Amino acid sequence: MKWIWAKIVPWNRELAEVALEAGAEAVLIPPGFREEVKSRGLIQTIAPDGDLLLGKDVVEWEIKGKEDEQEILNRTRSAVVIVRAADWTIIPLENLIAQTENLVVEVADLTQARTMLSVLERGVDGVLLNIPDPTALRTAIAALKEPGESIALTPAKILRLQPLGMGDRVCVDTCTQMGLGEGILVGNSARALFLIHAESVENPFVAPRPFRVNAGGVHAYVRVPGGKTRYLSELKAGLEVLLVDFHGDTHRAIVGRVKIERRPLLLVEAEAGGGNVSVILQNAETIRLVTPKGEPVSIVDLREGQEILISLEDLARHFGMKVQETLEEK
């Protein structure tokens, strides 16, 4: 588990209450405020007179040059080191992560925090949020403590395949390479999203592009982080999509590029949960769905009665968010 700490220097009672309520593990505070923090709830304090003694159990160090890396490495043998830099570069942090633990990085916002927690895939052991705005601090702590999404996937039986005319389809190129049994969730209805496989499969016609999912028509819904959906047409560089494997395990991926091109389309209709569900894809052999065993299957090889994986929900969506209302999409 990563440590989420909040820096409250100078002292600010409202920020301390936000950190406690949002679930931070510790607050770094000036001397003399430990008892006031403790009177409001159970949370560790970091201060010269805190639960964790600043200067002994926890030390602060600013990276100014190469020589600071060795000093930080030495200090992590006996204490947790809070690292900060006036102008963050990733390489010094990678060097430290590769050699030691007990690293916490001081950051100014949620984006920086997520970056530091994912460097070299392992990330630092924690972040110290130096965010003076109470609302922004609460949002950052909540986002960082949000557990990884796990999506229930269910088999759906293919009913029919119907070639359509020409239409605009979307290729989503992510900044992450995907493996077998992995892709993104797309569908004509937000309540039924098909697992569309990445182009990570060898074939005699096109070199694999494991960062790409040929996702479907511009109108379709696509699952994004936070339990939300977007239209494929809304995606652009810098936004995030949710990558999903056949077990339902997920992780975020940054969109690097979106390609919208006019191509022949195919309607894929299946039965699940007592009803019919569908998705419109490009009509090409490199487009694949995923079987319950995690095997990619080309749409040209799909047969009636064959099972593929979908995500099925009962709730409707409003601007990409779940809502409890009556909704019928055909």
- What's the angle, vertex CA 312, arms to CA 211 and CA 233, rounded to 5? 45
The answer to whether residue 295 scores a pLDDT higher than 80 is yes
In this structure, of 13-22, 110-119, 192-201, 252-261, the range with the lowest mean pLDDT score is 110-119
Non-local CB neighbours of 131 within 8 Å, separated by 6+ positions: 6, 108, 109, 137, 140
In this structure, of 41-45, 119-123, 237-241, 309-313, the range with the lowest mean pLDDT score is 119-123
pLDDT number for residue 323: 45
Contact 220, 196 (CB under 8 A): no
The answer to whether residue 223 scores a pLDDT higher than 80 is yes
| Average pLDDT estimate for 256-280 | 95
Q: Which tops the pLDDT comparison, 254 or 316?
A: 254
Going along the chain from its start, the domains and CATH numbers come out as: 3-145 (3.20.20.390), 154-317 (2.170.16)
pLDDT digit string, tens, across residues 96-131: 888 888 999 999 998 888 888 877 567 789 999 999
| Average pLDDT estimate for 126-138 | 94
pLDDT number for residue 329: 61
pLDDT number for residue 317: 45
pLDDT number for residue 114: 83
Residue 49 and residue 47: Cα distance in Å, rounded? 5
Sort strands 58-62 and 80-84 into parallel, antiparallel or unpaired: parallel
The answer to whether residue 270 scores a pLDDT higher than 70 is yes
The answer to whether residue 185 scores a pLDDT higher than 50 is yes
Distances (CA, A) of 43 to 22, 211, 256: 11, 42, 40
pLDDT digit string, tens, across residues 46-93: 999 999 999 999 999 988 877 888 888 999 999 999 998 766 566 677
Contact 169, 282 (CB under 8 A): yes
pLDDT number for residue 121: 62
pLDDT number for residue 219: 97
Question: What pTM was computed for the model?
Answer: 0.63
Residue 39 and residue 129: Cα distance in Å, rounded? 22
pLDDT digit string, tens, across residues 65-75: 778 888 889 99
Closest CA to 269 of 233, 299, 313, 228: 299
> Which residues in 169-204 are b (16+ Cβ under 10 Å) and which e?
bbbbebebebebbbbbbbbbbbbbbbbbbbbbbeee
Contact 281, 127 (CB under 8 A): no
pLDDT number for residue 69: 85
Highest mean pLDDT among 96-105, 121-130, 160-169, 247-256: 160-169
Closest CA to 161 of 311, 293, 282: 282
